[in-house]
Amino acid sequence: MKPLKIALTKGRLEKDAITMFDKMGLDTAALKEKGRRLILPVSQYEAVLAKAADVITYIEHGVCDIGIVGKDTILEYPGGYYELLDLGIGKCRFALAGPKGVDFYGGYSSKTIATKYPHVAERFFSKKGMDVRIIKIEGSVELAPLLKLADAIVDIVETGKTLYENGLEIIEDVEPISARVIVNMASLKMRKSEIEDFVARLDEAKLC
Ligand code: PRP
C-alpha cells in the first residue's frame, strides 16, 4: 500500500507540526534537514510541503490524504473535504482593522475593504447587512488603507504588531483561527483505520 500523504502548510505551522510529529514518535529527521525538497519521508508516511491554499487543492483532488492547514484558509475555501481536528497551534484571528482613530461605521458613504480573504470578508459584511466593495490583495494588506485604496482591511492578526507599526487598529474581531486537520473524503472511506489512527495520535500529541 502507498504511504499516506500528509500535506503540511509551509511556514508558520511547520515548526509546531514537526514538534507534534516528534511527540507522536515519528522520524522527522528528513523534514528537519529538508533543504529544498518538497516531499519527505516521515516514518511510514510522506510529508508534502505546500502553501496553505494548495494543501486544500491537493486534499480535494485526492493526491494527498491528510492536510494540516489554518482555519483561515478553510474558511476561504470551504467544501470538498472533511475537517477532523483542531490542533490548537497557529492560533490567531481574523479581524476588521483600519486607520487608528477613524470611526469606520460612521458616515453614510459605502466602504471599501481590502483583503486576501474576499469570501471571509463578504460573509462578515453580509451578516451585518452592509454593502461593501471588496478588493483582493495578495499580501501585506495593511498597505491598502495606508495608500487610501481601502477604508479598512479584513486580515489575520497574531500579535497585532503589524497593525500597530502601521498606524492601524482593530475595529472588530471577525473569527478565531487555529490549525486544523483535513482529510480527503474518499481516503477516509478507503483507508479509514490508518487515517483515524494517525489523527488520534496527533490528537494525543497536541501541544496545549
Ligand atoms: C500576516 C497577516 C499580517 C501579519 C499579522 O501576514 O497578513 O500582515 O501576519 O501578524 P502580527 O499581528 O503578529 O503582526 P504574513 O506574515 O503571513 O504575510 P502576508 O502579508 O504576505 O500575508
Per-residue pLDDT of the chain (208 residues; tens, 9 = 90+): 899 999 999 999 999 999 999 999 999 999 999 999 999 999 999 999 999 999 999 999 999 999 999 999 999 999 899 999 999 999 999 999 999 999 999 988 999 999 999 999 999 999 999 999 999 999 999 999 999 999 999 999 999 999 999 999 999 999 999 999 999 999 999 999 999 999 999 999 998 7
Structural domains of the chain sorted by starting position, each given as residue range(s) with its CATH number in brackets: 5-90+178-207 (3.40.190.10), 92-177 (3.40.190.10)
From CA 142, how far away is CA 2, in angstroms rounded? 44
Residue 119, all three cell numbers: 469570501
**Residue nearest (by alpha carbon) to ligand 1 atom 19:** 139
Identify whether the C-beta of residue 87 lies closer than 8 Å to the C-beta of residue 23: no
From CA 126, how far away is CA 22, in angstroms rounded? 43
Identify whether the C-beta of residue 5 lies closer than 8 Å to the C-beta of residue 40: no
Residue 165, all three cell numbers: 507599526
- Which residue among 116, 153, 157, 177 is best mutated to probe the pocket of ligand 1, counting the most ligand atoms within 8 A of its Cβ? 157
Q: Give the pLDDT confidence score for residue 107 in this predicted structure.
A: 87
What separation in Å is there between the alpha carbon of 160 and the centre of ligand 1? Answer: 9
**Residue nearest (by alpha carbon) to ligand 1 atom 16:** 140
Whether the CB of 3 sits within 6 Å of ligand 1: no
What separation in Å is there between the alpha carbon of 153 and the centre of ligand 1? Answer: 12
pTM, full prediction: 0.95
Residue 94, all three cell numbers: 481574523
Q: Give the pLDDT confidence score for residue 207 in this predicted structure.
A: 85
Q: Give the pLDDT confidence score for residue 190 in this predicted structure.
A: 97
Q: What is the CA radius of gyration of the chain?
A: 19
Residue 123: how many CB atoms within 10 A of its CB?
17
